[in-house]
Every structure is written in structure tokens, then in C-alpha cells.
Amino acid sequence: MLFENILWPGVLAPGLFAAVALAGVRLCDRRGRESTAGGGSLAIGAGFVAASAVMTGWPRWPPGDSTQRLFYVTAAAALVGLAWGWFKGRGTPWLVRGVVLGSLLVLMLKTPLEHKWSPGEAAARLAALMVVGLAVGWALEASLANAERRGRLVRAAVRLTLLTGMAVSLSFSGSARLGQLMGAVACAVFVVEVGGRLLGRRVWLPGDAMVLSTVACGLLLGGFFYATLDAWNACLLALSLLLLGLGVRGGWAQWLPLLPCAIAVTRVALAFVNAPDPYDY
């Protein structure tokens, strides 16, 4: 039960597929540490796709719910990040990130866009979410761009701890599947952090931030709009991602992103513990 429902879909499968993707990019590219191939992008995408497929099976086409839509958007973002890094030698431009993020928002919020919000309300909400999503992408890129500098182990530990805290928050917020998927992302990031160094190449490239921000924002949107993640906790977790951009300065600022995340985890845990028992009549 523990292996089939938790360890295999949430830890082992995403870790295994992320490692295979990272090693595959390394075998196909002989440029070593100066490579522009997006191994991190493909590893994160492969880990998330594997976890989602193991949990619920391969999603149908066209996708029927928000998680299935996130599956295809993440897979597409991973391929775009890989191709752009491979052929262009640099991170994906803002126009490409905007298209990916806009697609994510429209597909993830298809239900409220069609049945709940007025055109004006929809435009205002999408614009606000677009700004936040692009800011999260900038923060993650700033964090990953400094992965090779002094203090990189601390920054890596902060990133992994933050993703794990987000997984816990989503798990306590009415959706164990979203929590497991975020945990799968954390496993894929761990594989990139460790495997990249073992393979003797750069750990992160700028384009990898687009894939990581896409899947992180998508899971937060799913938790808020389709589970029970409340507005305060969603904002706290988004703030944690934004503060990753400040961690590049070193010192105490490196640990600052964990503070809002810790508050969010505490709030959802207390709410879960104090929730009334539905079977207590």
C-alpha cells in the first residue's frame, strides 16, 4: 500500500524518469559543462509526466480536467525549453514564456472562465495572474542562474525544502494527488541537483526556470480553484517562490523564502487537525 500509492508514484517513478532524461541528454551532448542542452527542463517534465501517468493513467485527449491539461502544458514547456536551449544556446525569451503561461492560465481556469466569471472579471483576473506568474518565472530564473556560485548548496536546499513544503500544503488542502505531484517535482529537482554534478555538467540553465514555474504555478492554481487551498495560503506559497529571487544575494536572504512557506504549512496543518469529523454525529 505504501509503495504502490505513495513511494512509487510520488518518489521513485518521477526520480527514475528524471534521471533517465538527464542521462539521455548527457549522452547526446558531448559539450560538458558548457552545454546549452536543457537537461533540467527535460528532467522536470519527465518526472512530472511519469508521476501523473502512474497515478491516474495516461490522460485522454482532449484533456478532461485541469490536471490533465497541466500534464500536456508541462510536457510542451519541457520540450520547448529543451529545444530552445539546444539550438539557441540561451534561456527562453519573455514572449515564449508569456505564451506558455497564458496557455496554462486559460486551460487551467477553463471552468470558471466559461461558467463563473464575467468577461471583465475574467480579463482582470487573468492579467493579475499573468503578472504574478511572470514574476515567479523571473525569481526562479534568478535563483537557478546562480546555481554555480558560492553557497549553491544552501540555495539548492532552500529550493528543495520549499517545494516539499508546497507539497505538504497541497496534500493538507483537500487534494492528495496535487500534493503528490508537487512532491514528484521536488524529486525531479533533487535528481537534477545531484545528477548534474555527478555527470560533471552545469546543473541548471536559464530555460529550466520556465518549466519549473509552469508546473509550480499550475499546481497552485489547481489547489486554489479546485481544492481547498485558501487565498492566504496560496499567496504565502506564491510569495515564497517570489522571494527565491532575493536569495541570490547570499546571507540570511537565502533562507527568507522558507518563512512564508512555513507559515502556510502551519496554517493548513492546523486547519486539517481542527477540521470537524464528518462522521461525528
Q: pLDDT tens-digit profile of 149-163?
A: 666 788 888 889 999
CA distance 33 to 187: 23
In the 3-class helix/strand/coil scheme, how is 8-37 assigned residue by residue? HHHHHHHHHHHHHHHHHHHHHCCCHHHCCC
* pLDDT attached to residue 1: 58
pLDDT over 70 percentage in the chain: 81
Give the predicted TM-score (pTM) of the model. 0.89
Look at 75-84, 105-114, 210-219 and tell me which has the smallest mean pLDDT.
Answer: 75-84
**pLDDT tens-digit map of 78-99:** 888 777 766 655 556 778 888 8
